[in-house]
Amino acid sequence: MPTLALLIIFTLLVIGAVTCLGQASIDEFRSALSAEAGFSPDEWSAVERGEIVTKLLPGTDKREVAVCGIARVRGTPEVIAKVFTQSMAQQSSKSILAIGRFSNPPLLSDVETLSLEKRDIEDLKRCAEGKCEVKLSTAMIQRFHQEVNWTSPDYELQANRLFRQMLVDYVREYQTRGAAALLEYHDQSLPVSIAKEHQSLLERMAYINDFAPEFVNNVKNFPHSELSDFESSISWTKLRFGLKPVIIVTHTTTYKRSKPANQILSLSSQIFANHYFDSSLGLTAVVSFPKDAAASDSYLLYTNHSRADSLASSFSRVKRGLVEAESIEKLNALLLQAKANVEVACANQSGENRVSRRQRISDWLFRGTGQYAWFVVIALLIALSGHYLRRIREPDRSLAAKKQLRV
């Protein structure tokens, strides 16, 4: 009998310890985001009531726009992750002109549907180090001058062929050497190192440095991995964006973690963009804290830091205001849609037989990269709206029109 009593007491102590651990983890989670993203007690109360809370984050660089959003969502991390992926695909599908994924090692066939815009090719004729309309490294600029016969009738074909080959070579080097292979843009007078940009943004990324340092270390040490639940993929996307379509190459890493809470983490790092963006880093975190044996508190966290050279140019204050306002609006809409979609999916698991075209696209994108791989470019679309350049130039056109009338 005493043995049975001791066993009961021990069991109760274990249950109590697990409950305290879960509660402490939630408190630490809230405290960390309050300190790093500035969530107030009132905003946390709004989250607990089921509302979406989005915020601008302070930046250390005038080129940077940073946003963060969180929602409390009912569902398992697996369901939340899958539905959030589909929601991102729905929001961005209209902007996608072409898309593909790199093999390991990469092949030319991976980029056979990718092509430069004619306007970009014409700009490459005059491209020089420190003065180029396309974001390239010094070596890339030199190769366009040396390997393309610009007087030949088929110079456009040559330029596209060379561009595809350079991207494949670049991704192969990155898959082999990691951050050491990241290029340095020399399209402007001041060079931009992607490796240094990533290091700066990753150090300030909310949540993962405190709650998943092993994930951060694994990302830094790519391609060497010490984690079993770590997945990696590299994709390219051509987007309809502002005044010029943009070609982006993104490295996406995902990680599943079970302690102190069930977590699915995804980090998207931009490793190349031929226009606009100097760097971008986006984190999606699905975190579920157990309340008891039958229930849990799940949170969907999204944060993105993006740097664009145009935000450091003239009228940057006007541009920043437009970008920040639309970034918050888009992120709020995305989280709201994801939350509603998760609730529908959880309430009607058997209703997933009808697969929409957008969902089929999403499923194709992540086939072979793991069930929880993420849409590779939505972070950029959220952080810097595809309409802001056009909207910024509208006041300039109206002002020019008024001047002509005066004349």
Q: What total number of domains does the chain contain? A: 1
Residue with tokens 């964006």: 241
* Structure token digits, residue 195: 């490796």
Domain assignment present for 174: no
Residue 111 within any structural domain of the chain: no
Residue 36: inside a domain, yes or no? yes
| pLDDT given for residue 22 in this prediction | 41
User: What's residue 375's pLDDT?
Assistant: 34
Q: What is the pTM of this model?
A: 0.80
- The pLDDT value given to residue 348: 66
Per-residue pLDDT of the chain (407 residues; tens, 9 = 90+): 444 444 433 333 333 333 333 444 788 888 888 988 899 999 999 999 999 999 998 877 888 888 999 999 888 788 887 787 777 776 667 778 899 999 999 999 999 999 999 999 999 999 999 999 999 999 999 999 999 999 999 999 999 999 999 999 999 999 999 999 999 999 999 999 999 999 999 998 888 888 889 999 999 999 998 888 899 999 999 988 767 899 999 999 999 887 666 889 999 999 999 998 899 999 999 998 876 545 567 899 999 898 887 776 655 667 777 778 888 888 888 888 888 888 787 776 544 444 454 454 444 444 433 332 333 334 344 444 444 444 444 444 444 444 444 44
Q: What is the pLDDT of residue 260?
A: 61
Is 317 among the domain residues?
Answer: yes
Q: Which two tokens stand for residue 131?
A: 């003065």
Domain holding 249, by residue range, is: 26-106+206-400+402-406
The pLDDT of residue 24 = 45
Residue 58 inside a domain? The answer is yes
Does residue 328 belong to any structural domain of this protein?
yes
Q: Distance between CA 391 and CA 188 in Å, rounded?
A: 24
151 in a domain, yes or no? no
Assign residue 316 the CATH number of its domain.
3.30.530.20
Q: Is residue 163 part of a domain?
A: no
